[in-house]
Amino acid sequence: MRTSIIVPIYNEVETIPLLVERVCGVMDQLPGPCELILVDDGSQDGSSALLDRCAEADPRLQIVHFRRNYGQTAAMQAGIEQARGETLVMLDGDLQNEPNDIPQMLEQIDAGYDLVHGWRKDRHDALLTRKLPSRMANWLISRVTGFPIHDLGCTLKAMRREIAEELELYGEMHRFIPILAHWRGARCLEMVTTHHARQFGKTKYGLSRTVRVVLDLLTVKYMLDYYTSPMKLFGRVGLAFFATGLSMLAGTVAMKLGMGFDMTGNPLLVLGAMLCIVSVQLFSVGLLGEANTRLYYRRNERRPFAIRNVFQSESSASASTAPATIPMKKSA
């Protein structure tokens, strides 16, 4: 399978026929065998039955039905696990992404990039509830993570299969796919794509997602900087707390000896002792994090690195595969 196109679907019964028609039209133009994976994320408006009828009419369609609504991240992860293509393409099911942009993305993949993600430069959404919060979030995420990006919320993207398989998507991490892939050493490219106004139904997102994005950003920042060595974070904070607490305790003793202040009534004594106790707790959390990290990599047979390829010259390869010669002993 050359290309797998993954589309999460949630209550898009009016959009499905046109979506399938346009995506299949693009698939007809792509080289090699293609498949369209539609993940039904617990739809309740008749989308499930309609998707099955579409799959009966075209064998290139594969439908994945969830038992209930699990969210877009889970739908993408399920699509990745079901996909058989060398290159995976993701796009929204509301037809706001343009399927005709897929061939251009695949050309960039063939040119050497590992992941190509869309940029809705001319976005057709409400200014106050969609565009403005998105711009602010993208600016904040770019500053915190150090990853230059204009539109992290665009679902339309193409990536190599090996990159997609290394991603661990849970919660609402689908927004951070380019950052997580870049963290694993993927060559990423942001490409301007076409964006359409929604024709049917209503959006599934609102201002309430802003809080979730900020919390996910904290998680991603931790994963980027301290995932493989939690002690670097908790140990540094613990050292700062311990040094501050120790200074307060020393100041309390100096005030008692030098000026005769009552130690029991000095707030620095309580605050210093509390900071020292908190520092010990932070050290403990860091040690537990280090132990869990090593158990995770050892138990799941994972490595904290990713190999792009291994090069070996033909002479070295022939020498390594040649049978070893055993010296013969001379007879007496």
Order of all β-strands in the sheet with 115-119: 61-65, 34-40, 3-9, 87-90, 157-160, 115-119, 188-192
pLDDT tens digits, one per residue of 62-105: 999 999 998 888 999 999 999 999 999 999 998 999 999 999 99
pLDDT tens digits, one per residue of 256-292: 888 777 777 788 888 999 999 999 999 999 999 888 8
Q: CB neighbours (10 Å) of residue 228? A: 14
pLDDT tens digits, one per residue of 207-238: 666 777 788 888 888 888 888 889 999 999 99
pLDDT tens digits, one per residue of 19-41: 999 999 999 999 999 999 999 99
Q: How confident is the model at residue 138 (pLDDT cuts 50, 70, 90)?
A: confident
- CATH of region 3-226, choose from 3.90.550.10, 3.60.15.10, 2.30.130.10, 3.40.50.720: 3.90.550.10
Domains of the chain by residue range: 3-226, 231-299
CB 141 within 8 A of CB 149: yes
- Determine the angle formed by the axes of helices 231-259 and 267-299, rounding to 10 degrees: 160
Q: For residue 326, is pLDDT > 60?
A: no
- Per-residue model confidence (pLDDT) at position 88: 97
pLDDT tens digits, one per residue of 169-199: 877 788 899 999 998 889 999 999 999 888 8
